[in-house]
Amino acid sequence: MKKTLLAIFTCIAFHTIAQDGTIYPLETPKEPNAIPLNTGSVKDQPAPETWFRQWGDPMARNISTATLTPFFPEKGKANGAAVIVAPGGGYRWLSLGNEGWEVAEALAKQGITAFVLKYRLFPTPEKLEDFSAWMNRPRPAPTKTDSTAKNTNPMAQMDLSNQLQDAEAAYAMIIKNAAAWGVDTKRIGMIGFSAGAGLTMHATLHSKTMKLAFIGPIYGGMGPVNVPENAPPMFNVIASDDFLFNGQFGVIDSWFKAKKPVEFHLYQNGGHGFGLGNPNRTSNKWFDAFVHWLTVNKFLIAGKEE
Protein backbone atom coordinates (compact mmCIF):
# COMPACT_ATOMS: atom_id res chain seq x y z
CA MET A 1 0.00 0.00 0.00
CA LYS A 2 1.23 3.46 -0.81
CA LYS A 3 2.31 5.69 2.06
CA THR A 4 0.50 8.80 0.83
CA LEU A 5 -1.48 9.69 3.96
CA LEU A 6 1.23 8.77 6.42
CA ALA A 7 3.92 10.58 4.43
CA ILE A 8 1.81 13.74 4.40
CA PHE A 9 1.07 13.57 8.13
CA THR A 10 4.70 12.83 8.96
CA CYS A 11 5.83 15.88 7.03
CA ILE A 12 3.29 18.07 8.79
CA ALA A 13 4.09 16.63 12.19
CA PHE A 14 7.82 17.11 12.21
CA HIS A 15 8.07 20.38 10.33
CA THR A 16 5.14 22.55 11.39
CA ILE A 17 3.58 21.16 14.59
CA ALA A 18 4.74 22.00 18.09
CA GLN A 19 5.61 18.89 20.08
CA ASP A 20 4.06 20.07 23.36
CA GLY A 21 0.89 17.97 23.49
CA THR A 22 -1.33 20.80 22.23
CA ILE A 23 -4.37 19.60 20.25
CA TYR A 24 -4.75 21.04 16.74
CA PRO A 25 -7.62 20.61 14.27
CA LEU A 26 -6.98 18.39 11.27
CA GLU A 27 -8.96 18.04 8.06
CA THR A 28 -10.57 14.61 7.77
CA PRO A 29 -8.57 12.49 5.31
CA LYS A 30 -10.30 10.54 2.52
CA GLU A 31 -8.76 7.16 3.45
CA PRO A 32 -9.31 5.66 -0.02
CA ASN A 33 -8.17 2.15 1.01
CA ALA A 34 -10.44 1.88 4.06
CA ILE A 35 -13.05 -0.89 3.73
CA PRO A 36 -16.35 -0.40 5.62
CA LEU A 37 -17.12 -3.21 8.06
CA ASN A 38 -20.88 -2.53 8.03
CA THR A 39 -21.28 -3.11 11.76
CA GLY A 40 -23.72 -0.26 12.29
CA SER A 41 -23.41 3.10 14.03
CA VAL A 42 -23.05 4.35 17.60
CA LYS A 43 -26.12 4.99 19.73
CA ASP A 44 -26.51 8.57 20.95
CA GLN A 45 -23.64 9.82 18.78
CA PRO A 46 -24.67 13.38 17.77
CA ALA A 47 -21.25 14.57 16.63
CA PRO A 48 -19.62 13.71 13.29
CA GLU A 49 -16.26 12.01 13.00
CA THR A 50 -13.47 14.59 13.27
CA TRP A 51 -9.69 14.49 13.32
CA PHE A 52 -7.03 16.30 15.31
CA ARG A 53 -3.26 16.28 15.85
CA GLN A 54 -1.45 15.83 19.13
CA TRP A 55 2.29 15.33 19.53
CA GLY A 56 2.32 15.63 15.74
CA ASP A 57 0.26 12.48 15.26
CA PRO A 58 -3.07 12.23 13.38
CA MET A 59 -5.96 11.06 15.53
CA ALA A 60 -9.68 10.53 14.98
CA ARG A 61 -12.62 10.76 17.37
CA ASN A 62 -16.39 10.27 17.35
CA ILE A 63 -15.95 7.32 15.02
CA SER A 64 -19.34 5.76 14.30
CA THR A 65 -18.43 3.78 11.16
CA ALA A 66 -15.85 1.03 11.55
CA THR A 67 -13.39 0.32 8.74
CA LEU A 68 -10.45 -1.95 7.97
CA THR A 69 -7.44 -0.65 6.03
CA PRO A 70 -5.07 -3.25 4.54
CA PHE A 71 -1.33 -2.75 4.22
CA PHE A 72 0.16 -5.30 1.83
CA PRO A 73 3.81 -6.33 1.62
CA GLU A 74 5.69 -5.67 -1.58
CA LYS A 75 5.01 -8.13 -4.36
CA GLY A 76 6.76 -11.42 -3.69
CA LYS A 77 7.53 -10.56 -0.05
CA ALA A 78 4.35 -11.77 1.68
CA ASN A 79 4.79 -14.77 3.99
CA GLY A 80 1.09 -15.47 4.60
CA ALA A 81 0.92 -14.18 8.15
CA ALA A 82 -1.59 -11.43 8.96
CA VAL A 83 -2.05 -9.06 11.89
CA ILE A 84 -5.03 -6.94 12.89
CA VAL A 85 -3.68 -3.67 14.34
CA ALA A 86 -5.87 -1.92 16.94
CA PRO A 87 -4.75 1.64 17.83
CA GLY A 88 -5.40 3.08 21.26
CA GLY A 89 -7.01 6.22 22.64
CA GLY A 90 -9.11 5.28 25.65
CA TYR A 91 -12.00 4.23 23.37
CA ARG A 92 -12.62 7.98 22.87
CA TRP A 93 -10.16 8.59 20.02
CA LEU A 94 -7.77 6.57 17.88
CA SER A 95 -4.07 7.31 17.47
CA LEU A 96 -4.08 6.15 13.87
CA GLY A 97 -0.61 7.43 13.02
CA ASN A 98 1.87 6.05 15.54
CA GLU A 99 -0.29 3.12 16.73
CA GLY A 100 -1.89 2.22 13.42
CA TRP A 101 -0.45 3.11 10.03
CA GLU A 102 3.19 3.21 11.15
CA VAL A 103 2.91 -0.18 12.83
CA ALA A 104 1.11 -1.67 9.83
CA GLU A 105 3.82 -0.42 7.47
CA ALA A 106 6.52 -1.88 9.70
CA LEU A 107 4.72 -5.23 9.69
CA ALA A 108 4.31 -5.14 5.90
CA LYS A 109 8.06 -4.64 5.54
CA GLN A 110 8.44 -7.97 7.38
CA GLY A 111 6.21 -9.70 4.84
CA ILE A 112 3.18 -9.62 7.14
CA THR A 113 -0.14 -8.44 5.72
CA ALA A 114 -1.42 -5.88 8.23
CA PHE A 115 -4.91 -4.50 8.73
CA VAL A 116 -5.56 -1.31 10.71
CA LEU A 117 -8.86 -1.57 12.55
CA LYS A 118 -10.65 1.76 12.88
CA TYR A 119 -13.24 0.74 15.45
CA ARG A 120 -16.24 2.60 16.83
CA LEU A 121 -15.74 4.91 19.82
CA PHE A 122 -17.65 6.42 22.68
CA PRO A 123 -18.87 9.99 22.02
CA THR A 124 -16.78 13.06 22.88
CA PRO A 125 -17.73 16.78 22.78
CA GLU A 126 -18.29 18.05 19.26
CA LYS A 127 -16.23 21.21 19.71
CA LEU A 128 -12.47 20.68 19.71
CA GLU A 129 -11.91 23.16 22.54
CA ASP A 130 -14.38 21.26 24.75
CA PHE A 131 -12.70 17.97 23.88
CA SER A 132 -9.29 19.48 24.64
CA ALA A 133 -10.52 20.70 28.04
CA TRP A 134 -11.87 17.22 28.79
CA MET A 135 -8.56 15.65 27.76
CA ASN A 136 -6.62 17.99 30.06
CA ARG A 137 -8.89 17.55 33.08
CA PRO A 138 -7.22 16.71 36.43
CA ARG A 139 -6.89 12.98 37.04
CA PRO A 140 -6.25 11.16 40.33
CA ALA A 141 -2.93 9.38 40.71
CA PRO A 142 -3.09 5.58 40.26
CA THR A 143 -3.37 3.52 43.40
CA LYS A 144 -0.47 1.19 44.19
CA THR A 145 -1.45 -2.45 43.90
CA ASP A 146 0.10 -5.87 43.48
CA SER A 147 0.08 -8.62 40.89
CA THR A 148 -2.89 -10.43 42.43
CA ALA A 149 -5.16 -7.40 42.73
CA LYS A 150 -8.07 -6.77 40.40
CA ASN A 151 -7.38 -4.70 37.31
CA THR A 152 -7.38 -1.05 38.37
CA ASN A 153 -7.60 0.15 34.76
CA PRO A 154 -11.01 1.91 34.49
CA MET A 155 -11.17 1.00 30.78
CA ALA A 156 -11.56 -2.63 31.82
CA GLN A 157 -15.08 -1.84 33.09
CA MET A 158 -16.37 -0.39 29.80
CA ASP A 159 -19.01 -1.96 27.57
CA LEU A 160 -16.98 -3.04 24.56
CA SER A 161 -19.75 -4.76 22.62
CA ASN A 162 -19.43 -2.39 19.64
CA GLN A 163 -15.66 -2.67 19.59
CA LEU A 164 -15.77 -6.46 19.82
CA GLN A 165 -18.29 -6.61 16.99
CA ASP A 166 -15.93 -4.50 14.87
CA ALA A 167 -12.96 -6.76 15.65
CA GLU A 168 -15.00 -9.85 14.82
CA ALA A 169 -16.15 -8.30 11.54
CA ALA A 170 -12.53 -7.46 10.67
CA TYR A 171 -11.46 -11.04 11.37
CA ALA A 172 -14.37 -12.41 9.31
CA MET A 173 -13.49 -10.12 6.40
CA ILE A 174 -9.88 -11.33 6.42
CA ILE A 175 -11.04 -14.96 6.48
CA LYS A 176 -13.45 -14.32 3.60
CA ASN A 177 -10.77 -12.65 1.47
CA ALA A 178 -7.85 -14.81 2.61
CA ALA A 179 -7.17 -16.34 -0.81
CA ALA A 180 -7.28 -13.00 -2.63
CA TRP A 181 -5.14 -11.30 0.03
CA GLY A 182 -2.63 -14.12 0.36
CA VAL A 183 -3.40 -14.79 4.02
CA ASP A 184 -2.99 -18.11 5.82
CA THR A 185 -6.12 -18.35 7.98
CA LYS A 186 -4.18 -20.29 10.63
CA ARG A 187 -1.70 -17.43 11.09
CA ILE A 188 -3.91 -14.42 11.81
CA GLY A 189 -2.90 -12.52 14.94
CA MET A 190 -3.91 -9.28 16.62
CA ILE A 191 -1.82 -6.54 18.17
CA GLY A 192 -3.13 -3.53 20.04
CA PHE A 193 -1.89 -0.46 21.88
CA SER A 194 -3.29 0.86 25.17
CA ALA A 195 -7.09 0.68 24.65
CA GLY A 196 -6.32 -1.33 21.51
CA ALA A 197 -4.43 -3.76 23.73
CA GLY A 198 -7.55 -3.90 25.88
CA LEU A 199 -9.65 -4.69 22.81
CA THR A 200 -7.14 -7.35 21.76
CA MET A 201 -7.42 -8.96 25.18
CA HIS A 202 -11.22 -8.56 25.24
CA ALA A 203 -11.48 -10.34 21.88
CA THR A 204 -9.19 -13.10 23.11
CA LEU A 205 -11.22 -13.65 26.27
CA HIS A 206 -14.76 -13.21 24.94
CA SER A 207 -15.06 -13.67 21.18
CA LYS A 208 -16.86 -16.80 20.01
CA THR A 209 -15.81 -16.37 16.38
CA MET A 210 -12.20 -15.20 16.37
CA LYS A 211 -9.48 -17.87 16.43
CA LEU A 212 -6.37 -15.77 16.78
CA ALA A 213 -3.03 -17.50 16.30
CA PHE A 214 -1.20 -15.02 18.54
CA ILE A 215 -1.76 -11.72 20.32
CA GLY A 216 0.39 -8.73 21.20
CA PRO A 217 -1.06 -6.40 23.86
CA ILE A 218 1.30 -3.42 23.92
CA TYR A 219 1.17 -1.18 27.04
CA GLY A 220 -2.32 -2.37 28.00
CA GLY A 221 -3.95 -3.20 31.33
CA MET A 222 -1.94 -5.63 33.44
CA GLY A 223 -4.58 -7.02 35.78
CA PRO A 224 -5.25 -10.78 36.08
CA VAL A 225 -7.74 -12.46 33.74
CA ASN A 226 -9.53 -15.77 33.33
CA VAL A 227 -7.61 -17.44 30.52
CA PRO A 228 -9.71 -19.47 28.07
CA GLU A 229 -8.67 -23.00 27.15
CA ASN A 230 -7.95 -21.99 23.55
CA ALA A 231 -5.93 -18.88 24.47
CA PRO A 232 -3.18 -18.12 21.93
CA PRO A 233 0.48 -17.36 22.66
CA MET A 234 0.96 -13.81 23.96
CA PHE A 235 3.72 -11.24 23.47
CA ASN A 236 3.30 -8.48 26.05
CA VAL A 237 5.13 -5.15 26.31
CA ILE A 238 5.01 -2.30 28.83
CA ALA A 239 7.40 0.22 30.39
CA SER A 240 7.92 0.50 34.14
CA ASP A 241 7.15 4.24 34.00
CA ASP A 242 3.77 3.62 32.33
CA PHE A 243 0.80 4.48 34.56
CA LEU A 244 -0.95 1.30 33.38
CA PHE A 245 1.87 -0.88 34.75
CA ASN A 246 1.74 0.27 38.36
CA GLY A 247 3.62 -2.79 39.60
CA GLN A 248 1.13 -5.29 38.18
CA PHE A 249 2.02 -8.63 36.56
CA GLY A 250 -1.46 -10.17 36.77
CA VAL A 251 -2.11 -10.93 33.10
CA ILE A 252 1.36 -12.43 32.74
CA ASP A 253 0.81 -14.59 35.81
CA SER A 254 -2.59 -15.66 34.46
CA TRP A 255 -1.11 -16.81 31.14
CA PHE A 256 1.78 -18.56 32.90
CA LYS A 257 -0.45 -20.42 35.35
CA ALA A 258 -2.71 -21.48 32.48
CA LYS A 259 0.39 -22.99 30.86
CA LYS A 260 0.01 -20.86 27.75
CA PRO A 261 3.06 -19.51 25.89
CA VAL A 262 3.86 -15.98 27.05
CA GLU A 263 6.72 -13.57 26.49
CA PHE A 264 6.88 -10.43 28.59
CA HIS A 265 9.08 -7.35 28.10
CA LEU A 266 9.14 -4.86 30.98
CA TYR A 267 11.24 -1.91 29.82
CA GLN A 268 12.96 0.55 32.09
CA ASN A 269 11.43 3.54 30.37
CA GLY A 270 9.21 4.58 27.53
CA GLY A 271 6.16 5.95 29.29
CA HIS A 272 2.80 5.40 27.62
CA GLY A 273 1.82 5.66 23.97
CA PHE A 274 5.29 5.24 22.48
CA GLY A 275 4.12 3.31 19.39
CA LEU A 276 7.17 1.96 17.58
CA GLY A 277 9.38 4.01 19.90
CA ASN A 278 10.55 7.43 21.04
CA PRO A 279 14.16 8.70 21.08
CA ASN A 280 16.52 7.45 23.79
CA ARG A 281 14.17 4.99 25.48
CA THR A 282 14.94 1.37 26.30
CA SER A 283 11.50 0.37 24.92
CA ASN A 284 12.51 1.35 21.39
CA LYS A 285 13.55 -2.16 20.37
CA TRP A 286 10.31 -3.93 21.27
CA PHE A 287 9.22 -4.31 17.63
CA ASP A 288 12.47 -6.09 16.75
CA ALA A 289 11.85 -8.45 19.67
CA PHE A 290 8.28 -9.02 18.48
CA VAL A 291 9.42 -9.97 14.97
CA HIS A 292 12.04 -12.28 16.48
CA TRP A 293 9.35 -13.89 18.66
CA LEU A 294 7.11 -14.42 15.61
CA THR A 295 10.05 -15.93 13.74
CA VAL A 296 11.14 -18.30 16.51
CA ASN A 297 7.56 -19.46 17.00
CA LYS A 298 7.26 -20.09 13.23
CA PHE A 299 4.34 -17.73 12.69
CA LEU A 300 6.07 -16.27 9.65
CA ILE A 301 6.28 -19.55 7.76
CA ALA A 302 3.56 -21.88 6.47
CA GLY A 303 2.95 -25.25 8.08
CA LYS A 304 3.33 -24.26 11.76
CA GLU A 305 2.46 -27.23 13.95
CA GLU A 306 -0.71 -26.93 16.03
- Residue 144's pLDDT is what? 56
Domain residue limits, the chain: 4-135+143-296
- Residue 135's pLDDT is what? 79
Rounded to whole angstroms, how far apart are CA atoms 277 and 271?
10
Mean pLDDT of the chain: 89
Helix axes 195-206, 161-176, angle to 10 degrees: 70
Rounded to whole angstroms, how far apart are CA atoms 114 and 214?
14
Give the three-class secondary structure for 25.
Answer: strand
- Residue 6's pLDDT is what? 47
- Residue 150's pLDDT is what? 52
Q: Could you say which architecture CATH assigns to the domain 4-135+143-296?
A: 3-Layer(aba) Sandwich (3.40)
Rounded to whole angstroms, how far apart are CA atoms 306 and 272?
35
**Short-list 290, 258, 256, 283, CA closest to 268:** 283
- Residue 20's pLDDT is what? 62
**Short-list 90, 19, 8, CA closest to 279:** 19
- Residue 10's pLDDT is what? 38
pLDDT tens digits, one per residue of 137-182:
776 665 555 544 555 455 567 899 999 999 999 999 999 999 999 9
Judge residue 255's burial from the number of C-beta atoms within 10 Å of its C-beta, 0-12 exposed, 13-18 middle, 19 or more buried: buried
50-54: strand order across its sheet: 24-26, 50-54, 57-61, 93-94
- Residue 7's pLDDT is what? 41
Determine contact, residues 81/174, Cβ cutoff 8 Å: no
DSSP-derived letter for residue 99 is: I
- Residue 16's pLDDT is what? 36
- Residue 223's pLDDT is what? 96
- Residue 155's pLDDT is what? 58
Other residues' Cβ atoms within 10 Å of the Cβ of residue 75: 6
Low-confidence ranges of the chain (pLDDT < 70): 1-20, 139-156, 303-306
- Residue 13's pLDDT is what? 37
User: β-strand 234-239 against 215-218: which pairing, if any?
Assistant: parallel
Q: Which amino acid is at 285?
A: K
Give the three-class secondary structure for 126.
Answer: coil
- Residue 147's pLDDT is what? 47
Rounded to whole angstroms, how far apart are CA atoms 289 and 265?
9
- Residue 44's pLDDT is what? 85
- Residue 21's pLDDT is what? 79
- Residue 141's pLDDT is what? 65
Determine contact, residues 291/263, Cβ cutoff 8 Å: no
Determine contact, residues 264/90, Cβ cutoff 8 Å: no
DSSP-derived letter for residue 141 is: P
